[in-house]
Chains A and B, each alone.
Chain A
Amino acid sequence: MNREDFPILGNGKIYFDNAATTLKPKCVIDAMDKYYLEYTSNIHRGDYDAATITNEKYDNVRNIVSEFINCDSKTVIYTSGATHSLNMVVFGFMRYYLKSGDEVLLNKGEHASNILPWIILSEEIGFKIKYVPLNEDYSLTLDNIKKMVTPNTKVISLAMISNVIGDVRDIKAIGDYCKSNNIIFNVDGAQGIPHMKFDFKDSNVDFLSFSGHKMCGPTGVGILVGRYELLEKMKPIMYGGGMNSFFEEDNSYELKDIPTRFEAGTPAIAEVIGLGEAIKYLMGISMEKIHQQEINLKTYFLEKVKDIDNIIVYNKNVNSGIIAFNIDSVFAQDASMYLNHYGIAVRAGNHCAKMLKDEMNIKNTVRISMYFYNTYEEIDKVIEVLRNSKDIFKVIL
């Protein structure tokens, strides 16, 4: 659906790599062009007309985000992407919150950006990282989390939807559990927020990170939302212009209020405006419809792929548009090269979840990740190509 909004779809290619980045609708590109063509100016410092427009458009994106996920617009921080957001939580908040002997619960299906910052900080502080075991179908449940919680558990950090398996975690249930056990709940929404309706206030999430470019927005911009009381305790990890009220020779200084104090330097203004446009665009379609379309497409794919003997699908049961599979006895990258030969873009590899191999006994998979603009006809084409994959080496060599 809505294919006509995406100029790039005119190229005849099939794009199934939406978990890596999504395509951009014309309205987003136009909104950014307009900033560059009609009212280029910096934020917060100009008294001229263009600067007023920029300020207004830039600041208004916080309101758009707050409407989109039901959060207080004062708690919306612009970042460069989910990776930046997650690093802010770890190095700006957790560095001062966690103590030696504390425990942080992660799991091996997480993206590098929700594991590596924790490993680095644990070297400094000495807290313990524990990995919640995944179920047989590689999903993560509250029951498994509960089994790992001890009186020392201070933080649970996980993705709303994992990027390899695509399992949808029950954020509301885990959030409620965390709240009643006084555990900070940090959520990586990079794969979740673009695909599902989410309510920040209702879910007892303490920190939420997501990226613009995985939800029809531009690269280089993301969002961190946090509970206000926690943001008050969080320290900036970058200092400079735009985020201070004053600084003096005697080393005294004062930082601006939340959220501005976390946004040092000239931000990605065009990208923030583009992200606002992308969110308005998604809300215009409705997140419920977007999610349903992805599920419909995935169900259709699974039905069609059933009778192809040499295709192994690893995540049949998950409720998202991510399909992890391999062609039997074919290295994942060769499979993705083969699909590329027919103009089909997918991704092969460990998808930045390098520990998942410990749980899956396979290192690499081919990943198809859907978005609402994908079609049943595109799936038919993929199925046809996969059906003929016994001849793969004749094609790729």
Chain B
Amino acid sequence: MNSELKREIIFDNYKEPTNRGLVEDSSYLKTNTHSDSCIDNLDFMMKIEDGIIKDIRFDGEACAISTSCASIMIKSFIGKSVDEVRSILTNYINMINEKEYDSSLLGELNVYDEISKQPNRKNCALLPMNAVEKMLENLKN
């Protein structure tokens, strides 16, 4: 993916993010995610039925990278099984941390494959993933 296309995808998802805005529904898992090293602060909610991610929504204040990442992540996760999402999470986090990963699993999330060149933005690209990880962890418990 060339950098112009990456920028366009990130920008579009920042300006018009998918599923921004929370709903009142107790069947959703909920969590907040924020970072000590930046000022991003996002609330997430996720609905899982029969092991399938039915919906994810978010709201809050965050930078262009965090916001766009939340949006792309949501599009990529809805409709997938919890196991599939866990696998994407692992590979995505490996990509951000410059470890080995399978890019074929990541789809549009590959737009962040060079974010490690800006170490101060890595956290931003991880924040939405941390939220989903946290909610899946709570599910396990």
Contacts and interface: CB of A to CB of B under 8 A. Distances in A.
Contacts of A363: 39, 61
A394 interface: yes
Contacts, number: 36
A364 B7 contact: no
A163 to B, nearest CB: 15
A237 interface: no
B120 A337 contact: yes
A350 B63 contact: no
B64 A350 contact: no
B7 A331 contact: no
A333 B10 contact: no
Contacts of A337: 63, 120-121
A348 B121 CA distance: 14
Contacts of A334: 63-64
Contacts of A332: 39
A394 B61 CA distance: 21
B11 interface: yes
A397 B63 CA distance: 11
A71 B15 CA distance: 55
A393 interface: yes
A364 B40 CA distance: 10
Nearest to A396: B64
B39 A364 contact: yes
B52 interface: no
Contacts of A393: 7, 11, 14, 64
Which among B7, B39, B121 has the greatest number of chain A C-beta atoms within 10 A?
Answer: B39
A117 interface: no
Contacts of B7: 393-394, 397
A376 B6 CA distance: 37
A350 B11 contact: no
A349 B7 CA distance: 24
Interface in A309-350: 331-334, 337, 340, 348-350
Contacts of B14: 393
Nearest to B9: A397
B63 A331 contact: yes
Interface residues of A, number: 15
Interface string A62-90: 00000000000000000000000000000
A16 to B, nearest CB: 17
Contacts of A349: 38-39
B62 interface: yes
A348 B39 CA distance: 8
Nearest to A349: B39
Nearest to B15: A393
Interface in A341-397: 348-350, 363-364, 393-394, 396-397
A331 B121 contact: no
Interface in B31-57: 38-40
A396 B64 CA distance: 9
Contacts of B120: 337, 340
B124 to A, nearest CB: 8
Interface in B61-113: 61-65, 67
Contacts of B61: 331, 363-364
A333 B11 contact: no
Nearest to A332: B39
Interface in A98-141: none
A326 to B, nearest CB: 12
Nearest to A348: B39
Contacts of B10: 397
A364 B34 CA distance: 14
Contacts of A331: 61-64, 67
A363 B40 CA distance: 11
A350 B39 contact: yes
A360 to B, nearest CB: 14
Contacts of B40: 333
A74 B138 CA distance: 56
A337 to B, nearest CB: 7
B122 to A, nearest CB: 13
Contacts of A397: 6-7, 10-11, 64-65
A34 B10 CA distance: 52
Contacts of B64: 331, 334, 393, 396-397
B134 to A, nearest CB: 22
A190 B65 CA distance: 33
A332 B41 CA distance: 13
Interface of B: 6-7, 10-11, 14, 38-40, 61-65, 67, 120-121
Q: Which 10 A-B pairs have the closest CB atoms?
A: A349-B39, A333-B63, A397-B7, A334-B63, A331-B63, A397-B10, A334-B64, A393-B11, A364-B39, A333-B39
17 contacts: A331-B61, A331-B63, A331-B64, A331-B67, A333-B40, A333-B63, A334-B64, A337-B63, A337-B121, A348-B39, A350-B39, A363-B39, A363-B61, A393-B11, A396-B64, A397-B11, A397-B65
